[in-house]
Amino acid sequence: MKFGVIIFPGSNCDHDAFWTIQQVARQPVTFLWHESHDLEGCDAIIVPGGFAYGDYLRTGAIAKFSPAMESVRRFADGGGLVLGICNGFQILCESGLLPGALMRNTGLKYVCKPVHVRVENNSTPFTNQCKQGEVLTIPIGHMEGNYFCDQATLHELQQEHRIVFRYATRAGEISPEANPNGSLDNIAGICSPGGNVLGMMPHPERASEPELGGTDGMKIFYSVVGALAGNREVAAGVIP
């Protein structure tokens, strides 16, 4: 089992994701340079947060042309697991791996704070360690987190249970007050039709250790580890 974390010019959460995989999840991980086509035999790819290529033109618009993302598209088409976090979510949408787009927050301000997200689908490789309807507390930090798609796409996401996370209250209520950025249908994360690609705006790596104020984010990473291991290790109690 091996994880890869892509580094783009402007990435600033790549080392956080690397640390979480290596030091908390205790799994092999390597950095992948944006100019390389080589995914180095990785079993799961993380497209991290930050400001890839300075967010010039618009978020993710340049990163989608990188050699690394060409390989990620082929990897995902073959069923490989891909997790896009914040800017990574934006890049996945620009690359066509996920539908829709991330626009400016409705308040036109950068928002950085812990939020509550409700697990809408716990049958994905990224949420198998969560309970259906469970509320996780995970930080956000973004200016363009306002998810939008057309009504046909929204209906498809809803019907196919591809909305994985929604912004919610601590009690799990989906409400406008719980929505930090104006995202359509309170969407905080969606997956691909096959469930092997997930994009989410909250940063699970920032909620991975008690010292960070919470560990709910580790459920995402442990889910991926469990999916890659066929849940054998999870069942054996090796993974917390």
93 is catalytic: no
CA distance 172 to 194: 26
203 is catalytic: yes
The angle subtended at Cα 75 by Cα 4 and Cα 8, nearest 5°, is 45
Q: Is 172 left (phi over 0), alpha (psi -120 to 50) or beta?
A: left
The DSSP 8-state label assigned to residue 210 in this structure reads G
Catalytic residue (choose from 42, 86, 93, 149): 86
Answer whether 211's CB lies under 8 Å from 10's CB.
no
Catalytic residue (choose from 34, 116, 142, 203): 203
Answer whether 126's CB lies under 8 Å from 220's CB.
yes
Residue 188 CA neighbour count, 13 Å, CB half: 28
40 is catalytic: no
Catalytic residue (choose from 94, 120, 144, 205): 205
Q: Which residues are catalytic?
A: 86, 203, 205
